[in-house]
Structure 1
Amino acid sequence: MEVNEKFKELLCSVKEKKPLVHHITNYVTVNDCANIVLAVGGSPVMADDINEVEDMVSIASSLVINIGTLNSRTIEAMVKAGKRANKLGIPVVLDPVGVGATPYRKETALRLIKEIKFAVIRGNLAEIKILCGMNAASKGVDSEETLTDDAKEVAKVCAKNLNTVVAITGVNDYVSDGNKVMVLKNGTKMLTTVTGTGCMTTSLVGTYCGVTKDYLLAAAAGILTMSMSGEKAYEKLTEAEGSGNFRVRLIDEVFKLKGEDFMRRGSINEVC
């Protein structure tokens, strides 16, 4: 079966099964993450109190952990929920937002990786390099690394070292399980004008992880859902419209996404 056909089947599975995606995420983008999961066909829940995270993740299809707005209370909840998910075989996805911005963020991310087995880690090039102990340039939560074909090798090496699927998103996107690398070439610069498109992408990855054990495919499907929908949203903007209209249209396009869009629009290269 061609890879685009597999993406089509994954999207159908999401809409049929409506996976419950448990989030412990940041308060800047929490509403957008919930809406994007609903738009693609999943069911979001945002629960971060340490007294209920184990119970909540026990009924979920996947868990998304996002360190965008850290505090000591939610870190302990992340660890507790992640360990419970691991015990139950529920996939856990990590978004190491701004991991290089402060020592506290880096220490937290490394602790999470040490104590939790992640199905997918999605970040920009700087975030992924920092997690792997490589030198990287970042400013706040943004990468100052130039995304070149070297990112392909970074994705592969880091996936092997971290024993997970690694997804590096940027102008092009690189997804690897340590053996295979998928290079995705959809998207638009307008995605950088809206807060939280990275967080939303991670939520989409978590949604697809809730319906398959092929986490390489799930990560790529989540990224393509965002990048293709971004293209379609941008194409429909008028000259009088800007980033606010783009944000609304983006969610609309995720809602309207069809399996055939992967066949017609998806730009995917597999590299062994």
Structure 2
Amino acid sequence: MVDLEKILRARKDLREKEPLIHAITHPISINMVANAILFLGAKAICASHPEEVGEIMKMADSLSLSLGNITSERMVAIDLASQAAIEKNIPLCIDMVGVGASTLRYNFAMDILNKYHFDLIKGNSSEIRTLAKGKSNAIGIDVGKADEISKGNIEEIAREARNLAEEYQTTVLVTGKTDLVVTKDRYLAIDNGVETLSKITGTGCMVTAMISSFMAVTDPVTATLCGLLVMEIAAEKANTDGLYTFFVNLMDQIGLITDCEIREKAKVREIKF
């Protein structure tokens, strides 16, 4: 059974504690990521220079990482920041953007997964399948049609995600029309959101940073559900045919959405196979 009140308490705790979230992301989404963190009530810093990330991590309460638009410098920074986060014992969340698109990203992803413990591994179903099986139907950074979560393959994808969760002793988030939050012994499905989200670049990185923000004040599963529900219900409220209007409305709603609206609109279910 999903404890919705525990999820909502995380929002209150975040606003009261105002944790500092270190988000190493990429230029395409950095402004959106920093503002999403701020709109939730946390504080943001997006340092990515290898010579300063260790120092920044001494102040941070959570670390959010993205492999999007990867560069050699950011790869070094991600490695150093992950090590510093482990030493400080603060949460690590990683978004495996494009891990199915290139050998470079795949090899780097596997290297850091085997070096450090991440509290959450996030990706679309193609990215998670790449990590689980070494191959997928990814199209660049987008999910391949054959990997999209459906009634016909949801059990298979969930079990692949569980294998990852067991291997790395973590929580796995598989994003899609239906989002799956998977641990070694639980499957949770979230059916909120709108298709328009997939048409705006950077929204996945925003979700990663929002989840990482909540991880500073609660456990990974609760943080993941809270980040998803805030983002996706805000998107439902903001939805419109004008894509840029939708984007502006979405950013507003992230900060304006109420607990009552989340209670009324949340579509979270525990599934058993």
Same fold (TM over 0.5): yes
After superposition, the C-alpha distances for 1:8-47 in whole angstroms (9 at most, x for unaligned) are 1011111111111101111110100011111111111010
Shift of 1:92: 0.6
Verify: 1:17 aligned to 2:17, yes or no: yes
2:101–2:139 contact (8 Å) kept in structure 1: yes
Number of aligned positions between the proteins:
266
After superposition, the C-alpha distances for 1:35-78 in whole angstroms (9 at most, x for unaligned) are 11111111110101111111111111100111101111111111
CA distance in 2: counterparts of 1:109 and 1:2, whole angstroms = 31
Shift of 1:2: 5.7
Determine which of 224, 234, 257 is the counterpart of 1:229.
234
The Cα RMSD (Å) is 1.4
Q: For residues 4 and 104 of structure 1, do their structure 2 counterparts lie closer, same or farther at Cα, with a shift above 3 Å needed?
A: same
Q: Greater CA deviation, 185-194 or 126-135?
A: 126-135
CA distance in 1: counterparts of 2:42 and 2:56, whole angstroms = 16
Matches within 5 A, 1:166-245: 166-212=172-218, 214-234=219-239, 237=240, 242-245=242-245
Determine which of 153, 156, 160 is the counterpart of 2:159.
153
- Where 1:182 maps in the other structure, the secondary structure is strand
Q: Which residue in the other structure is 2:259 paired with?
A: 259
Shift of 1:134: 4.7
Q: Which residue in the other structure is 2:55 paired with?
A: 55
Partner amino acid, structure 1, of 2:261: D
Moved over 6 A (4+): none
Q: Which residue in the other structure is 1:103 paired with?
A: 103
Q: Which residue in the other structure is 1:3 paired with?
A: 3
How many percent of aligned residue pairs carry the same amino acid? 30
2:178–2:190 contact (8 Å) kept in structure 1: yes
1:79–1:115 contact (8 Å) kept in structure 2: no
Partner amino acid, structure 1, of 2:71: N
After superposition, the C-alpha distances for 1:187-214 in whole angstroms (9 at most, x for unaligned) are 10010111111111101110000112x1
- Where 1:139 maps in the other structure, the secondary structure is coil
CA distance in 1: counterparts of 2:207 and 2:113, whole angstroms = 20
1:205–1:222 contact (8 Å) kept in structure 2: yes
CA distance in 2: counterparts of 1:135 and 1:79, whole angstroms = 24
Q: For residues 81 and 129 of structure 1, do their structure 2 counterparts lie closer, same or farther at Cα, with a shift above 3 Å needed?
A: same
Q: Which residue in the other structure is 1:26 paired with?
A: 26
1:156–1:178 contact (8 Å) kept in structure 2: yes
CA distance in 2: counterparts of 1:95 and 1:75, whole angstroms = 13
Gaps of 5+ in 1: none
CA distance in 2: counterparts of 1:2 and 1:153, whole angstroms = 20
CA distance in 2: counterparts of 1:249 and 1:170, whole angstroms = 21
Partner amino acid, structure 2, of 1:55: E
Shift of 1:182: 1.1
CA distance in 2: counterparts of 1:39 and 1:63, whole angstroms = 17
- Where 2:196 maps in the other structure, the secondary structure is helix
2:100–2:135 contact (8 Å) kept in structure 1: no
After superposition, the C-alpha distances for 1:99-155 in whole angstroms (9 at most, x for unaligned) are 011101111111111122101011100101111225310111001112122233233
- Where 2:133 maps in the other structure, the secondary structure is coil
CA distance in 1: counterparts of 2:72 and 2:137, whole angstroms = 26
Q: Which residue in the other structure is 1:69 paired with?
A: 69
CA distance in 2: counterparts of 1:152 and 1:268, whole angstroms = 16
Partner amino acid, structure 1, of 2:158: K
CA distance in 2: counterparts of 1:176 and 1:2, whole angstroms = 13
